[in-house]
Amino acid sequence: MDEFKQKLHSKFAGEIDDSLETRDFYSHDASLFEIVPQLVVFPKDSQDVQSLITLVAKNKKTVPDLSVTARSAGTDMAGGAVNDSIIVDFNRHINKMGSVSATEAKAQPGMFYRDFEVETLKHKALMPTFPASRDLATIGGMVANNSGGEKSLEYGKTKDFVNSLQVVFADGNEYTVKPIDKAALDSKISQNDYEGAIYRRILELCEKNYDAIKAAKPNVSKNSMGYNLWEVWDRKTGIFDLTKLITGSEGTLGFVTDITYRLVPYREHSGLLVLFLKDIDKLGDLIPKVLEYKPASFESFDDQTLLLSIRFMPSFLKMLGPVKFIHLLLTLIPDGLQMLRGIPKLVLMVEFNGDSEQEVRDKIKALHKDLGHKRARYEINGFEEDPTAAASEKFWIMRRRSFQLLRSKVKDKHTAPFIDDLIVNPEHMPTFLPELRQIITKYKLFATIAGHMGDGNFHIIPLMKLEDPKERAKLLPAMKEVDELVLKYKGSLSGEHNDGLVRGPWLEQQFGKEVLGYFKEVKSIFDPENIFNPHKKSDADWDYSYSHIRDHF
């Protein structure tokens, strides 16, 4: 690596750091894994990224372990942003805003979503597929993971909002990737170069296995497992769209250096109807009833999340500042009265948007009235109407900040997101959730459950002492049981957070050997020397992943 570092210095304008302190900092993300890199680099611009990839490609044969992993905020919960070779930090320099309008915004991948949103809101526009970690995440990570979030019920996922990408492929050159028609596709495949070969070979793969690839798409509203191959080529429309493949590829096919997002109009008025459930047996009837009213979001968190939020209430002072914290305390008083009726098993948050406050109020009241008539039937032990964004903020704080709270405040145990992000169609909730809870109880896992009720997408975060061999021994059997349960109900093991080191090893279980073969071919077409982010996606292996679980926190 010393010789490679010397070569890189002459071609690289950004910083190059191999200090123990820096390598230790970049050895983990928000997952349960730890891998110490040999080098961390901070490219100044796209030219730096191209120079780096070109040099890696030239030296790969003599240094077989040489590889690069892109990283921005380091909030990945699946271990997708760690690597034992070179970490490439986009957050320090490649973080600039480009052009913005009411319909489209261009920015670099290292930019925080929170800063990106400030700029789009100046045009009364929004990129709506932000994750719950919206204050911490970058827009590049959202592309890498094909993120979704609380608004995905209404708007879909990140792949649905990518207009174009600038991507550095394994030959070290930067290319524009965007949807193209058949004439443009014919022109691409006729090129006698690296780009032309990618388009030609991916089209051949899609055409040769068209029906099998289309059938492989998981039958759920969102998925981040594998490569999104089924949306690349459509014979009916004649549209070929490699952005669908790059988005969600976790930096394993190339490095994104610029993103152009489609935006939607920002609706200033929103509010919640909050439902407190004393049981979950009636969810199968309740969910479709709520969805009839076409909410913008339909979120949930469980009793453990609620109790932890109450227990660590002083922590919100540091997170929010004194003004917002006092507001949070005051607005929680009505819900404190609800607690006198017993801690609910589940808190459901049904959000409505509108062009006026009155429109939001009317939508909330209509659903409240309909559900109120059947309150006993649905096991609802309380309602709260919060018809403005300010009034509903307290619930969003609990929902969005729960993982951050767990990571920082439960000192004797650590977050272990190894069964996180599963998705099963909502009609299965009455039977699926009790069976899921049985597995959690069987392995004596203390876990919070929060998620997107409208999609059936849940984030389950156990708290464990992973330095204890007995606790660590629970990981594989518990994961197998949860995965088998999800697949029994025709779900996906990841709705939003991608494969990484934790779910990549189960791609064959999710898709079967034949489709996994297609994924491996995709990887080989884009990255024949395995330069980009190894041990994720199609070449993941559980033994490798398990050997890199953190043993100290």
Three-class DSSP labels, 326-394: HHHHHHHHHHHHHHCCCCCCEEEEEEEEECCHHHHHHHHHHHHHHHHHCCCCCCEEEEEEECCHHHHHH
Residues near 470 by Cβ (< 8 Å), separated by ≥ 6? none
Distance CA 223, CA 228 (A): 9
Residue carrying the six token digits 């959202």: 142
Phi-psi sector, 321: left (phi>0), alpha (psi -120 to 50), beta: left
For 106, phi and psi rounded to 5 degrees? -115, 135
Considering the entire predicted model, what is its pTM?
0.90
Burial 365-375 (b: 16+ CB within 10 A, else e): eebbeebeeee
Domains of the chain: 97-265 (3.30.465.10), 267-398 (3.30.70.2190)
Q: Write down how long the chain is.
A: 553
Angle between helices 475-488 and 429-442 in degrees, nearest 10: 170
- pLDDT tens sequence for the chain (553 residues): 888 988 999 899 999 999 999 999 999 998 999 999 999 999 999 999 999 999 999 999 999 999 999 999 999 999 999 999 999 999 999 999 999 999 999 999 999 999 999 999 999 999 999 987 888 899 999 999 999 988 898 999 999 999 999 999 999 999 999 999 999 999 999 999 999 999 999 999 999 999 999 999 999 999 999 999 999 999 999 999 999 999 999 999 999 999 999 999 998 899 999 898 887 777 878 988 999 999 999 988 887 777 766 666 565 555 556 655 555 544 554 454 454 456 788 889 999 999 899 999 999 999 999 999 888 888 787 888 888 887 777 777 766 666 566 555 455 567 789 999 999 998 898 889 889 989 999 999 988 788 888 999 998 888 888 888 999 999 999 999 999 999 999 999 999 999 999 999 999 999 999 999 999 999 999 999 999 999 999 999 999 999 999 886 5
Residues near 478 by Cβ (< 8 Å), separated by ≥ 6? 418, 419, 439, 442, 443, 445
